[in-house]
Amino acid sequence: MNFLHVLALTVLTVGAASAQDAPPSASGVPVTVSVFAHSVSLPTFRGFLKNPNFGLRVGTEFYYRNRPGSQLLQTVNLGFYHHRALQTGLFVSTEFGYRKFFGPVYAEGLVGVGVLGLSQHLRSYQPDGAGEFRPASSFMLRAMPSLSAGLGYRFGLHTPTPVSVFTRYELFAETPFSNRGVPLLPHSALHVGTRVLLNR
């Protein structure tokens, strides 16, 4: 549980400090909502096209630098996904990223870390110390490092409350993962979402 405490303290401290750096022109709190297709795989699009599994993510952003041409930002997210054959996941994550604007179009890249709570659909067993095996808990906590890149478009560019739509490809892992010496299990997520400013 020490990992959870450190992550929560980091998010709250950095988020509070960076919120003070928001420019005076910002007229609301950014809220991001995305629906994503989920796959347990190395980088590929094949898992999204055949029997896709879906998830939902809601988050907000804080800005270390907010200029007309670029943003240096941090996100805080809460998400959920359901993989029919394997697991259901609930996660809390934070990402650090850079966003570059080209008029109404933008590109972004982010790296993050989170905590992933998993409910396994498949029954697993563990040794009981007496030469027998007993059912293991179906719930587990894992660390969740992530890497993502995306493209977006802003509507209402010259208004105080622009609305963005975006797509983002994300790679994340659950770790530790112990199966034949493999330390982590790779996941992929293809997001489609929107970002709006809510009044303070």
Domain range annotation of the chain: 32-83+104-116+142-200
N- to C-terminal Cα distance for the chain?
A: 33
Annotate 22-87 with DSSP letters as a single string: --TT--EEEEEEEEEEEE-SSS-SHHHHSS-EEEEEEEEEEEEEE-SSEEEEEEEEEEEEEETTTE
d(CA 18, CA 99): 16
Please give the average per-residue pLDDT across 67-91, as a whole number.
92
pTM: 0.76
> Residue 85 corresponds to which amino acid?
A
Does the pLDDT value for residue 115 go beyond 60?
yes
Confidence of residue 113 (pLDDT cuts 50, 70, 90): very high
pLDDT at 16: 41
Strand partners, 119: 88, 139
Average pLDDT, the chain: 80
Instruction: Tell me if 119 sits within 8 A of 138, measured CB to CB.
Output: yes
pLDDT at 1: 44
User: Exposure pattern of 169-183 as b/e (b: 16+ CB <10 Å)?
Assistant: bbbbbbbeeeeeeee
pLDDT at 136: 58
pLDDT above 70 covers a percentage of the chain that reads 72
How confident is the model over 128-181, as pLDDT tens digits? 666 655 555 567 888 999 999 999 999 987 777 889 999 999 999 988 866 566
- Please identify which residue in the block is written with the tokens 């095996």: 133
d(CA 198, CA 33): 13
Does the pLDDT value for residue 98 go beyond 80?
yes
pLDDT at 158: 79
Instruction: Tell me if 81 sits within 8 A of 121, measured CB to CB.
Output: no
Strand partners, 81: 55, 89
Confidence of residue 182 (pLDDT cuts 50, 70, 90): low
Decide: helix, strand or coil at residue 18.
helix
How confident is the model over 19-62, as pLDDT tens digits? 333 333 446 899 999 999 998 877 776 666 677 899 999 999 99
pLDDT above 90 covers a percentage of the chain that reads 50
Handedness of CA 64, 108, 75, 175 (dihedral sign): negative
